[in-house]
Structure 1
Amino acid sequence: MNDPRTAFPFPARNSSQHGLLRVLLLDDRSSREAWAAWRQRHDIEKIDYGSFKLLPMLYARLRELEPADPLLSRLKGVYRMTLYHNHLLRHRAGGILGYLQHHGIHPLLLKGIPLLALHYRDWGVRRTHDIDILVPYAQQERARALLAGHAAWKRFARRPLHPRAHHGETWHADGFQLDLHWHSLHEALYRDNGDAALPEHADTLQLDDVTVPAAGAPDLLFQSCIHGTRRDSPQDAYRLVDVVTLIRSRPNSLDWDRVDELATRLHLRLRVHTVLSYLTDEFGVDVPRDLRGAPGERYAPVEHLEARRLWRRPGITGLLPIHWCYYHRSFADGRVPLTRVLGFPRFLHRRWGLTSTTQFAAYVARACARRFRRHLWNGAA
């Protein structure tokens, strides 16, 4: 029987990453055996970027298992560099969160910083690349205006992004990045997507002298599963460690019903089941049976559409099939009504940040010409 969970070739299938995940996630005896096997097959000087991201976690694990390992001193350098970066980012996060709160915005922290502070409890084991903040949709315009008026933070995009076609906007300051979200995921671009309930399930985090709500463990787990199965995350095997850390940090209190509710509401059950069944099968992680899926299980049409398109190499139509998936997800039931099919060009108009029909036509013409030339070149090669 066809199993739709095999449709997402998420990054842990890389042999180096898979081997390091075995070191990180298995019991002590199996972990030592996995480390010896990895050392025989791989050269730490020639690992891929996804494996490199796991090195701070590897240092923390080997510090317990093999304190005399000759590689430990080199791994310690990666760990300390990560620790230094994360402390700087934490300080910068406290400043911008205090600024937004002072002006009446209600931010909520997502992803890396809550994971490190509340679940890993070690700021050196995982590099977090940016500050992820969710603001209520009704406050996104005000929050963006405040950032635009801030002396340090600059918008990454050349023009403001349309809130109905994007889930957030990237800002940067002095080498640090801030992702300001008005939707927690770009897989849920409609207003009533459940984000309003995140503060009800939130934890509290203290950053310097700022107290801020942070996404709770079930929300972080759900989001880590989704990020780990995205098209743009070929080097993000560390997100699987995030999922396992969240499960093991709350062994008796994790709200699995909340995870299932989010996956069902947002038509993302297939991707959550894919990650959790993989972690159970490969690493013995304890996950409720109904959250691991099964061959022949029924999923929403948009989930099957993504499974067919999300990781496929772009053809002559480029990323249009991916944008078509996003357009499906801009509706609460995960499918485009027949009466709204003709609204797809307008959705692209907003998503690409264009301001006129002339701009849209010129953009499409240039994109088609580039794609056609590339298609001809690849065919000739």
Structure 2
Amino acid sequence: MLPDPSDRLLLRAALDPPAEALACFARWRERIDLNDVAGTSFRLLPLVYHHIGAIMPDDAIKARLRGIARHAWLRSRSRWHLCSAAIDRLAQRGVPFMLTKGTALVVLFGGVMELRVQSDCDILVPPDHAGAAVETMFELGFVAPRLAPGTFHVEDHRSMHGLDFALAAGEFGLLDLHWRPLLDVESEALAEEFFERANAETLNGRAVRVPSLEHVFLQAAIHGSKFEEPLRHDWMADCHLMMRLAGERIRWRGLWASAERHGLAGLLEETLDLLADTVLPPLPSRVWRRPSGRATALERREAGARLKHPADRSRTDWLALDLKRLHRSDPGLSGQPLDACLPTLRRRMRVPTLPRRPDDDHGPLWFVSGWSHIEPHGRWSDGSVAVLALRPAPRTRPDARPADRLGRPRRSAGTDGAGRRRRPVPGAPAGEGGRGADRDRDRSRPVGGGGGGRLDRPCSSGSPIPSSLRAWNGAATRASSACSSSPPPGPRRRRNRTRNRPPRRTGRSEHRSRPC
């Protein structure tokens, strides 16, 4: 995802001093045909025209770039009209909101920022107002590719950080509604901080709020420096222009303090180093460098993994991404060093917690997390697995009885203490297969589990013989007689399906003497 030599030349043509920028543009023209421009190169051409269009020697190329710049300006204006309709309805319903990303750059700076290729309008709402904001978009006639009207529930806060909306089913990405500013931060504390430090501005005569300069820069750097298809490097132009236009107004220490609180300091440091290696920043490094500390090995690994295609990431890359995302999911952990949080993170990774489903949703299956919508450019396809949860059917006991006065469940006739049906004694007369007969039958069995085992020692002549055993033997016997040598059969033993396998030892003898 790193810029190739052609992209570096075009970035320098848009951002370097005019003389050097004109030379970089001439070298870029030697490599690239203007008719084949797409992706990041096309998004940077309006900025190139605004920067060096007046001193270009080739009138034909100047006219082509002027037409591309006008197209970008008109496209951005069309997005603002959609955004205006959305913010008007949100204001009527009393839903707090603010404009972020490219829309916030246009509101804050205007001028050259209006020549950015504005692909969508980004709106941020507080997490607790996400459901009302989503329903508002559906009321306006917008459609979402990943959500049907009336299906948004609380677990979408965790599995998604925003939704794409559009007015036609085949044209998505015109309006982005977010309830978390960054996908990398699952905690809601960052969104609360955005609203606490927001600034009041106007857009098309409407009162709107935008993040502070520090948060706009943080969001542009973190959101832009990750893999996307098609490849985009215009985030470097956004950060560079912010340094040039408002570098002295940005509170850099406050920016780094916010990044430290939310576990983004190492990622921001690596991102700014990448920016400095590509295009020379307009500010000295002592101004924008991290004031204290350096990125750890895990943070450098995460920054490198975010720039790779998901198919090219190793297991170590995925582990670094998951570990850092889990580290940032809790505000109490993100502000602490990672080594101090390892026991807690290890416990959470070993025993993951599934989200709680709303009580009014009784369906058997629901989506927990994983894949989001796979758009043509792969924006939401960064998940490796999808998690589906099944709700088991409740098991009811038809023979359940109310408890007695001591809290113990009542036993129904013909059942044992666990509620299971007792098997009748073979040959027992009616009325003699009850609870006492069953207890007597159990007492008369050998302990080893063998159904046909003999008794090694006869009972004493004075031991009573249950009537059920007398009925089973088929002859009446006096109570003083000895025990029958053929006890009632126990449960059938399972056949040993494996030949030549010795019987499993259970730790006690198969033939154990026990009195009647």
TM exceeds 0.5?
yes
The answer on 1:156 being equivalent to 2:145 is: yes
**Equivalent residue, structure 1, for 2:167:** 173
Shift in alpha-carbon separation, 1:327–1:166, aligned structure 2, 3 A: farther
Shift in alpha-carbon separation, 1:293–1:208, aligned structure 2, 3 A: closer
The answer on 1:110 being equivalent to 2:100 is: yes
**Equivalent residue, structure 1, for 2:349:** 341
1:125 to 115, 129, 139: 115
Shift in alpha-carbon separation, 1:93–1:212, aligned structure 2, 3 A: same
Shift in alpha-carbon separation, 1:44–1:300, aligned structure 2, 3 A: same
Partner deviation per Cα, 1:1-38 (whole Å, 9 max, x = no partner): xxxxxxxxx54x21111001111111122112212222
* Partner Cα distance (2:30, 2:271) in 1: 28
**Equivalent residue, structure 1, for 2:303:** 307
SS in 2 for 1:204: strand
Contact 2:270 2:303 in 1 (8 A): no
Q: Among the aligned pairs, what percent are the same residue?
A: 22
**Equivalent residue, structure 2, for 1:5:** none
The CA RMSD measured in Å over matched residues stands at 3.1
Contact 2:165 2:175 in 1 (8 A): yes
Shift in alpha-carbon separation, 1:125–1:67, aligned structure 2, 3 A: farther
**Equivalent residue, structure 2, for 1:215:** 211
**Equivalent residue, structure 1, for 2:491:** none
* Partner Cα distance (2:229, 2:213) in 1: 21
**Equivalent residue, structure 2, for 1:289:** 286
Amino acid at match of 1:179: D
TM superposition shift of 1:100? 0.3
1:33 to 6, 10, 23: 23
1:142 to 108, 115, 132: 132
* Partner Cα distance (1:330, 1:137) in 2: 14
* Partner Cα distance (1:308, 1:23) in 2: 26
| Residue pairs, 1:188-203, within 5 angstroms | 188-192=185-189, 194-203=190-199
Q: Which has the higher contact order (CA 8 A, sep 6+)?
A: 1
TM superposition shift of 1:165? 2.5
* Partner Cα distance (1:349, 1:170) in 2: 19
SS in 2 for 1:154: coil
**Equivalent residue, structure 2, for 1:264:** 260
**Equivalent residue, structure 2, for 1:350:** 369
Segments of structure 2 that go 5 or more residues without pairing to the other structure are 335-340, 356-366, 373-385, 392-516
Partner deviation per Cα, 1:272-300 (whole Å, 9 max, x = no partner): 22332344454242154374359x93438
* Partner Cα distance (2:352, 2:65) in 1: 49
Amino acid at match of 2:61: L
Amino acid at match of 1:166: M
TM superposition shift of 1:183? 0.9
* Partner Cα distance (1:226, 1:252) in 2: 21
Shift in alpha-carbon separation, 1:253–1:269, aligned structure 2, 3 A: same
* Partner Cα distance (2:213, 2:71) in 1: 27
Shift in alpha-carbon separation, 1:28–1:145, aligned structure 2, 3 A: same
SS in 2 for 1:100: helix
Shift in alpha-carbon separation, 1:135–1:251, aligned structure 2, 3 A: same
**Equivalent residue, structure 1, for 2:237:** 241
Shift in alpha-carbon separation, 1:18–1:69, aligned structure 2, 3 A: farther
Contact 1:109 1:133 in 2 (8 A): yes
| Residue pairs, 1:2-21, within 5 angstroms | 10-11=1-2, 13-21=3-11
**Equivalent residue, structure 2, for 1:329:** 328
**Equivalent residue, structure 2, for 1:88:** 78
Shift in alpha-carbon separation, 1:316–1:221, aligned structure 2, 3 A: closer
Contact 2:50 2:112 in 1 (8 A): no
SS in 1 for 2:369: helix
* Partner Cα distance (2:29, 2:174) in 1: 35
* Partner Cα distance (2:258, 2:352) in 1: 26
* Partner Cα distance (1:115, 1:142) in 2: 26
TM superposition shift of 1:345? 7.3
SS in 2 for 1:283: coil
SS in 2 for 1:357: strand
SS in 2 for 1:195: helix
TM superposition shift of 1:80? 1.2
Please identify, of 267-276 and 178-187, the stretch whose mean Cα deviation from structure 2 is larger.
267-276
Aligned length: 345
* Partner Cα distance (2:115, 2:193) in 1: 30
Shift in alpha-carbon separation, 1:137–1:26, aligned structure 2, 3 A: same
1:231 to 211, 227, 233: 227
SS in 2 for 1:186: coil
SS in 1 for 2:156: coil
Partner deviation per Cα, 1:92-147 (whole Å, 9 max, x = no partner): 11111010011010101101112123224246511111111111112112222222
Contact 1:134 1:183 in 2 (8 A): yes
TM superposition shift of 1:312? 5.2
Higher alpha-carbon Rg: 2
